[in-house]
Amino acid sequence: MSLKLSRRDTLLAAASLPLWGATSGHTKPADHYDVIVIGGGTAGIPCALFAALGGARVLLVEKSPSLGGTLFWSTGQIAGSGTVFQQRLGIEDTPDAHFADCMRINGATADPELTRLTVDHAGDTINWLAQQGFEVMDGHPVTGIGHDHFTTRRYQQGTKSGLSILDALLPSLNQAISNQQITLLTGTSATALLQQPSSAITGVTVDGPFGHRDVKASHVVVATGGCAANPRLFEELHGVPLYAQTAYPTSLGNGLLLGMSAGAAIVGAEKYACLPGLIPDAYRYPCQMFAYAPLNPAARSPWEIVVNARGERFVREDHPSVHQIERGIYRQPGHRHWAIFDADMLEKSAPIIPDWTRERIANEHQSNTMFHRAMTVSELAFRAGLNPATLTATVNDYNHSIAVGGADPYGRVSRPSPLAKPPFYSIAMQGWTLVSFAGLSIDASLRVLDREARPIPNLYAIGEVIGAGATSGAAYTNGMLVTPAITFGRLLGQRLASGQSAA
Ligand SMILES: Cc1cc2nc3c(=O)[nH]c(=O)nc-3n(C[C@H](O)[C@H](O)[C@H](O)COP(=O)(O)OP(=O)(O)OC[C@H]3O[C@@H](n4cnc5c(N)ncnc54)[C@H](O)[C@@H]3O)c2cc1C
């Protein structure tokens, strides 16, 4: 999920996408639809489209002025087996191998049925996107990018990141809207679910330019995204503060609240996992990302050591699995960590912040309180707010172990130099996430479940509203958010149109 395009780039690109909102936002909805899809983003667009292609009368409700949701910011990295992109390169792959890789990476913490559903249909999803003009970056598919790698090349990113996916989805959707198979209401929020005393969902209350209206439907699909742009709800659900605000701004948890009000169970909070290396703009949360040091040994061999708020090392910095480094950070107070290095390490290692020069890293302390520089380790600790005695002992232990050829207590293999040549540097970093892990409980038929694990009749959920933990587990498993979002959208749309409610 590396951030390749700047937000300015994506917003500029977004501005060039076709918009239908000008008229559709003022369209009055009919009284009844076969399917109402709440949320016109990654999961909602394919769901509405495939339901319409299957013959259903569909209402698509989107609270923003334009469709796309998180695809405007998402890197849009997706994975599947048996794709045309693999065939081009002669790569053989199977859903079973994809399943095994996902479960290996997340330690079998993802829901096995939902993982199976994803991997069994992901190849068809990607091939359908390719038919719609989706094109991948040179050299893709790859085994991995920012997270632990697959064993096979099945992971790809569009040439315009998430926008490549949106570009592939929109022409067909536009056609279905023109053909009046889909009624699109932009600038319109779903504010309540209509529910019978029996608990069956019968429709949605929508608020738009036309006013406030109850619309009936045979099936209601919640595809409103996660809650990682809503610090209060995020913390309440996860028991962990939202340390950094990096999710798409519409990810306010609307669908979680709608589902909860209808009696849905919330699951997956315990799968919260943090990414490493966010350099905050300030000591507050949620903070903004000022810069990013991926701390991923697969991409850059580390020279520095990483310590916690006590000034102690806690992880093998060169662990081949970045997931293990993430888990190490997760166990530290406040998920905070500091990179500590000396002049030699700065000079000889690749810059810890990609795209920054060594000079910038060396001088940033002059204007930025996340960066410190000092002529002794003790003084560095003092300036960084770490315990001088502890950090000095940590550095001395590290250096002594290298000098005597002793084994590293954390199993680190690559120790290219001791931390001995002044000036010394520290960079403060924060564990962070761009998605929410808690979500509406669903079954393998994508039906929303109540607290007794009974389906709430006519209510379905897809996309991040089911919680990142459902398909990605307690880890960042390559593509296991966008891939299931589009795939579940496609499958559910097809099934609802054909009158089936189950997978
Ligand atoms: C920067 C970034 C990079 C990422 N990169 C990757 C990646 O490479 N691979 C990967 O697998 N995952 C990635 N993710 C995660 C992934 O992109 C998201 O989980 C996924 O796109 C969410 O899809 P969604 O359909 O659930 O939500 P969205 O795409 O956000 O769509 C939800 C839509 O619902 C609308 N909505 C919300 N509430 C209402 C309401 N009450 N009424 C009407 N409409 C409503 C919203 O406006 C929005 O348009 C990334 C996330 C981020 C933030």
Residue 141 predicted with pLDDT over 60? yes
Residue 422 burial by Cβ neighbours in a 10 Å radius (0-12, 13-18, 19+): middle
Q: Which CATH class is domain 7-14+24-76+160-269+435-477+489-497?
A: alpha beta
pLDDT in tens, 69-103: 999 999 999 999 999 999 999 999 999 999 999 99
Predicted TM-score (pTM) of this structure: 0.94
DSSP letters spanning 373-399: EESSHHHHHHHHTS-HHHHHHHHHHHH
3-state secondary structure of 113: helix
CATH of 275-432, one of 3.40.190.290, 3.30.360.10, 3.30.110.30, 3.90.700.10: 3.90.700.10
Tell me how far the alpha carbon of residue 186 lies from the centroid of ligand 1, in angstroms: 16
The finding on whether 440 has its CB within 6 A of some atom of ligand 1 is: no
pLDDT in tens, 210-265: 899 999 999 999 999 999 999 999 999 999 999 999 999 999 999 999 999 999 99
Tell me where in the chain the CATH 3.50.50.60 domain(s) lie: 7-14+24-76+160-269+435-477+489-497
Pocket probe for ligand 1: among 224, 245, 258, the residue whose CB has the most ligand atoms within 8 Å is 224
The finding on whether 37 has its CB within 6 A of some atom of ligand 1 is: no
Tell me how far the alpha carbon of residue 62 lies from the centroid of ligand 1, in angstroms: 12
Q: What is the pLDDT of residue 27?
A: 73
Q: Are 165 and 158 in contact (CB under 8 A)?
A: yes
Helices and strands (H and E) in the chain: how many = 16, 18
Q: Are 402 and 415 in contact (CB under 8 A)?
A: yes
Tell me where in the chain the CATH 3.90.700.10 domain(s) lie: 275-432
The finding on whether 190 has its CB within 6 A of some atom of ligand 1 is: yes
Select the more confidently predicted residue: 20 or 237.
Answer: 237
